[in-house]
Amino acid sequence: MPDPAERAPPPPDREALKLPPEDGDAQLHEVGRDGLSVFLYLSFTDKELGQLFNDLRLSIPGFRIDKLSGVQKADHLADEIRERPDARHAVVELLKKIYEFPVLDNVTLTPEVASQLAVAAELEDFRVLMLWRLLADPQAEVRKSAHPSLELLAKAYYGGGAAPAPANAPKKVDEPREGADLEKELARAKDLAEKSRARADEIAAQLKAARQDEAEVSKELSKARKTIDRQGNDISQLKLELDKARARAKAGMSEKQARELDHAKELAQKLEAERDALKAQLEAAKSAKPAAPAPEPAAAAAAAEPPEDEQVEEAPRDWHLPRFSTEFYDSLTGWDRRLQRAAFKQAFLLAENYRHPSLRALPLQGLEGYYRVRVATDVRLIYKRHADDTVEILSVIDREDLDRYVRQAKTR
């Protein structure tokens, strides 16, 4: 009698057959940052993502890992894997521990079939669609291949054995099942139970994240209230300055002082409108349902300052007073009163004396007709000069956001 080991077929050449490696290694570092992040978020619970942080010895200065949401953990892990591809091995090991092996790991896929599977995986009803496809196949042996899985799902969801046969159905003599089949069915049942437990953990993690989101919304509401109070104080101070200016006007004032008074009136009106808008946003936020935070995009690289000898903007023949855009007033929100005043000062100084030492208007690289001037060490005022030489004041931004501003302006 031949040795069973001699009858066993040789292991397949997985590389020649274009099958996944036996250890399940996946080239996760080739996936885009957001795509890899959502794969990790869907694959693991919040606790399991924290375990990966420990396995890879990751830390984020100033943050406690256990306080991060699942999305934030997945984002940082995705960044780490893309920067250091070897880190993917810890993820693959955890995937093997939870899921054991990827589906269809012994079937060679064509790019067309892979594309169809990827699109189907986007749907929550992927299991139903796959079973439907098997049951609709014209080949009887393919259709029958879905029957054992359906019976196993029936036992898992309903308990007990299969549904009773109809009264008029012929009686079937029970046949003993092979031990290998029973072991295979037991392995499937265990896998289904483990996946159910993992799903329960995922739902618990999502509930925890929703509670964290609610707490963050409460913090935002508190910040909005503080902003409204601060704007109210600024408006009160401006009104006092206006009253003083009116008192000086009774005694007579210069043309320049009259212009300053007009500017102060305009600023007070804009701040009052901003306060009303913030109040409306606060009321809307109170009644809005907290939503799950979207994965935040990666921060843009800081824009490098041009060399000091770069050609500065030449003054046009007729320089007009600047036009303040709605975007400019929106961008003032969040800056302190000192910077807001400095922004207005630089804008009017552009019209009065473009050669003033504090200006040095420089072109904004990548946008025709856009320029920037310095407001503070890391703050820039963006403006645009039109064909008729009118100047439109666009925004006050952090110097590090210059690249992002250019990209967004190109898409408008």
> pLDDT 10s per residue in the chain (412 long)?
455 555 556 667 778 878 888 888 888 889 898 888 988 998 899 889 999 999 998 888 888 888 888 888 899 899 999 999 999 999 999 988 888 888 887 788 888 888 888 888 877 778 788 878 788 888 888 888 888 888 887 777 776 554 444 444 444 444 444 566 667 677 777 777 787 778 778 887 888 887 787 777 777 777 777 777 777 777 877 778 777 777 766 555 556 666 676 777 777 777 777 777 777 777 776 665 554 444 444 444 334 444 444 555 555 555 566 788 888 888 888 888 888 888 888 888 877 766 676 677 888 888 888 888 888 888 999 988 777 767 788 899 998 888 888 888 888 7
Cα R_g (the chain), whole angstroms: 33
The backbone torsions φ and ψ at residue 84, rounded to the nearest 5 degrees and listed phi first, read -130, 90
Terminal-to-terminal C-alpha distance of the chain:
79
Q: Which residue in 347, 356, 349, 353 sits closest to 392, CA to CA?
A: 347
Nearest-angstrom CA–CA distance, 411 and 405: 10
Nearest-angstrom CA–CA distance, 362 and 355: 12
Nearest-angstrom CA–CA distance, 151 and 395: 64
Nearest-angstrom CA–CA distance, 13 and 22: 10
